[in-house]
Amino acid sequence: MKQSFGVWNKLKAGMGVLAVVLLSLLVWGLVNVVFTKPEFRTLLDLTRGARFTLSDSTKELIAEVRKGPHVLEIHSFILQFPKGDPRARIQRQVVELTRDLLDRLRYLGGDKVRVVHHDLYREIQSSRQARDELGVKRFNTIVLKLGARKRILGILTDLADIEFPPDKPLPGQPLVPVLRSFPGEAAISSAIGGLLHDRNLLACWLTGHDEGLPTDGSGAGYADLGRQLAQNGFENRVLDLDKEGRVPEDCRLLLILQPKRPLFERHASKILAFLRRGGRVLMTEGYWLGTETQSYASLLGPLGLRLRSALLCNGILDPSGGLPSYGTEECLSLQISSGIHGTHPATKDLRRRGESFVLRWARAIDILAPKDSKGGAKVPKTRVTRLLSTHPFAWEEEVPKGRAPDFRPASEAELGVKTVGAAVVLDAKTGLQEGTENEGTKRVGEEREGRLILVSGLAFQNGEQLLERNLDLALSLVRWLSHQRTLVRTGTLSLAREHMDVSPQARERSKWVLYSVPAIFLFLALFVLLWRRRS
């Protein structure tokens, strides 16, 4: 005879099923609440959106872009390294991270942020046209354009922190670069902040002594350098000290490039006064064949520097490790690589990346004890650093008037390391009046270092591809001198602490999780109930 399951047993079974369902829903609710916290979501979610949950500083900048009248254009120009190149693996990682980051910026910016990835292999004509319009000469860069202003960032130089192998590795140590971190958000956000907030910084080009000017497009001119400065937020202006009377207070950078005539004492004193007020100066000077070389002692002497008069040459190194060769005009091109200062902020990144540069028609620089100028002005405390040096096979050659250089050292004793670049820092207080509105001015008594960099030889001219070969050096020196970049502090892979923005598409895809999990619990509970009733 079949026995009844019993009302009480049925009630207990129903209560058990209900308890299981309620407990399951409670657990699901707790899991959903806990694991949707920003910290857990960014930790466990490996989607593109979660990889770059941007910092609040970056979001505020994008919000400003959305309110502004201009569209923020971001263009990328990626030229892949060959597979055998040790940088190829790092480049692929950095490019992937950069694309993910730009996707987040494009989502947050809406129609006010436009991202264009130019295909250099398939869209050759359009890519070349875009590079010409944006003034981009190098590959592996991204260009941020807001209105008429632009910033150019290197994929592997500005967006990546790469540890390169040492010059002299230990035995058995692999010569492979390592990607230590990806500070891409900080670099891009800083560039956006500069486009939004920084006024065009004033770069004054000294004239009156046959200097190079930004309007000269010839091979001996500096029009290409002027365009690079303009792309990095500078306004180029020619400065005549006889007409102006002094260097303007809002001058962020004074350029003295390859003067050929003597620098008068009155001009030198005005430049020194500018340095004592915390000004910044970039000077280049080389050797002029057939003319009298100038020492510019009235300007450089008080700073502890002296330009020698002889032509500086170096031997051509043998890539196989043999003895250097001499006797050709190629000896005029000084190869600067191992002589780049490794800890100075103006050059340390260049040395770490293993960069090399070329200087032509150079003279050696002596570093001396600073002395007071003839006018009796006391020089503030001065620190001088050797920035650039030749390799050990360099020598000075005296060239008689009317004759060509021999390009051979008289003896091995003349060979040695010569200084061709130096940085001077003056501890100074500004004398500007409180309440001025000029860009870069300081309040009375606020500390501001005067800075000067002297580079010997032709380095940044249009001709002989000098600027193209030395562009990274030029921009690195200018950045240290001017501090023009607005820095936005973010993490390496910035994680927001309050909330994370999720795109509508991601929210649609996540709905099935919210609905399906409780449905699965209910289905399992009903299955258990029916199974127990059968028994």
Beta bridge partners of residue 470, listed in sequence order? none
CATH topology of domain 203-310+363-390+419-432+440-482: Rossmann fold (3.40.50)
Contact 295, 307 (CB under 8 A): yes
Per residue in 377-424, pLDDT (tens digit) is 445 578 999 999 999 999 999 988 878 899 999 999 999 999 999 999
| Weakest mean pLDDT among 271-280, 288-297, 421-430, 521-530 | 521-530
Contacts for 59 with CB less than 8 Å, ≥ 6 apart = 108
d(CA 222, CA 333): 19
Q: How confident is the model at residue 487, as a pLDDT? A: 45
The DSSP secondary structure of 161-208, one letter per residue, reads: EEEPPPSSPPTT-----EEEE--HHHHHHHHHHHHHHPPPEEEEEE-S
CA distance 363 to 285: 8
Mean confidence (pLDDT) of the chain: 81
pLDDT at 504: 52
- Which tokens is 231 given? 């792309």
pLDDT digits (tens, 9 = 90+) for 109-133: 999 999 999 998 888 899 999 988 8
The arithmetic mean of pLDDT across residues 230-245, rounded, is 89
pLDDT surpasses 60 at 494: no
Angle between helices 184-197 and 56-67 (to 10 degrees): 40
Find residue 455's DSSP bridge partners: 284, 421
What is the dihedral angle through the alpha carbons of 148, 153, 154, 157, rounded to the nearest 10 degrees? 150
Q: How far apart are CA 87 and CA 311, in angstroms?
A: 38
pLDDT band at 340 (very low <50, low <70, confident <90, very high): very high
432 — pLDDT class (breaks 50, 70, 90): very low
Q: Are residues 209 and 240 in contact, defined by beta-carbon separation less than 8 angstroms?
A: no
Of 307, 261, 241, residue with least CA distance to 457: 307
pLDDT confidence of residue 500: 43
Each residue's pLDDT tens digit, 309-319: 999 999 999 88
Tell me phi and psi for residue 203, to 5 degrees: -110, 115
Residue 126's CB is within 10 A of a number of other CB atoms, namely 12
| Residue 535: pLDDT over 70 | no
Q: What is the pLDDT of residue 75?
A: 96
Which residue's structure tokens are 């570093």?
A: 367
What pLDDT does residue 199 have? 66
pLDDT band at 486; cut points 50, 70, 90: very low
User: In which element (H, E) is residue 151 found?
Assistant: strand 149-154
Q: How many CB atoms are closer than 10 A to CB 437? A: 6
Split at pLDDT 50, 70, 90, the class of 435 is very low
Quick one: tokens of 111?
């129609």
Residue 527 predicted with pLDDT over 70: yes
Quick one: CATH architecture of 54-194? 3-Layer(aba) Sandwich (3.40)
DSSP assignment string, 441-509 = ---TT-B--EEEEEEESB-S-SGGGHHHHHHHHHHHHHHHHH--PPP----TT---SS-----HHHHHH
For the cut 90, the answer to whether the pLDDT of residue 267 exceeds it is yes
| Exposure letters 514-525 (e unless 16+ CB within 10 A, then b) | eeeeeeebeeeb
CB atoms within 10 A of CB 494: 22
Render pLDDT for 48-72 as a digit per residue (tens, 0 to 9). Answer: 444 556 888 889 999 999 999 999 9
Mean pLDDT across 33-49: 50
For residue 352, is pLDDT > 50?
Answer: yes
Q: Is the distance from CB of 466 to CB of 228 less than 8 angstroms?
A: no
pTM: 0.67
Q: How many CB atoms lie within 10 A of CB 277?
A: 21
Q: Mean pLDDT over residues 171-184, rounded?
A: 74
CB-neighbour burial class of residue 484 (10 A; exposed 0-12, middle 13-18, buried 19+): buried
> What's the length of the chain?
535
- Per residue in 82-108, pLDDT (tens digit) is 887 878 888 898 999 999 999 999 999
